[in-house]
Amino acid sequence: GNSVTQMEGPVTLSEEAFLTINCTYTATGYPSLFWYVQYPGEGLQLLLKATKADDKGSNKGFEATYRKETTSFHLEKGSVQVSDSAVYFCALSTYGQNFVFGPGTRLSVLP
């Protein structure tokens, strides 16, 4: 079945540091890939998505590129802020199947 693996957290960074959160997947067919963010006490919000190989999703300074050859969708940001502290979920979906979410990676950014 489909699955998503994310790097385990928590990840703790200083403000303005570079962020990478690794995500790899296993899927049948051609999945769409997503990153969601969950701020404390809130629901999940879509951060970015990519629907085909080599697509790059970007939003709020975050980027991720759909790499079919390595089955990866790593999340990056060049300079994190305290306000980026949240839990980040990688997810995929394929036609007719439920979303599959990774376990989430908690990010803490210190001033």
Partner 1 sequence: DTAVSQTPKYLVTQMGNDKSIKCEQNLGHDTMYWYKQDSKKFLKIMFSYNNKELIINETVPNRFSPKSPDKAHLNLHINSLELGDSAVYFCASSPEWVSSYEQYFGPGTRLTVT
Interface residues toward partner 1, by CB under 8 A: 30-32, 34, 36, 38, 42-46, 49, 51, 87, 89, 93-99, 101, 103-104, 106
**Residue 15 Cβ vs partner 1, minimum distance, rounded to whole Å:** 23
Taking CA atoms, 74 is separated from 20, 61, 64, 81, 97, in Å, by 7, 14, 5, 19, 22
Instruction: Decide whether 15 or 60 has the Cβ nearer to partner 1.
Output: 60
**Residue 16 Cβ vs partner 1, minimum distance, rounded to whole Å:** 26
**Residue 51 Cβ vs partner 1, minimum distance, rounded to whole Å:** 5
Instruction: Decide whether 31 or 74 has the Cβ nearer to partner 1.
Output: 31
Instruction: Decide whether 18 or 39 has the Cβ nearer to partner 1.
Output: 39
Taking CA atoms, 99 is separated from 57, 61, 111, in Å, by 18, 25, 35
**Residue 12 Cβ vs partner 1, minimum distance, rounded to whole Å:** 16
Using an 8 Å Cβ cutoff, are 29 and 95 in contact? yes
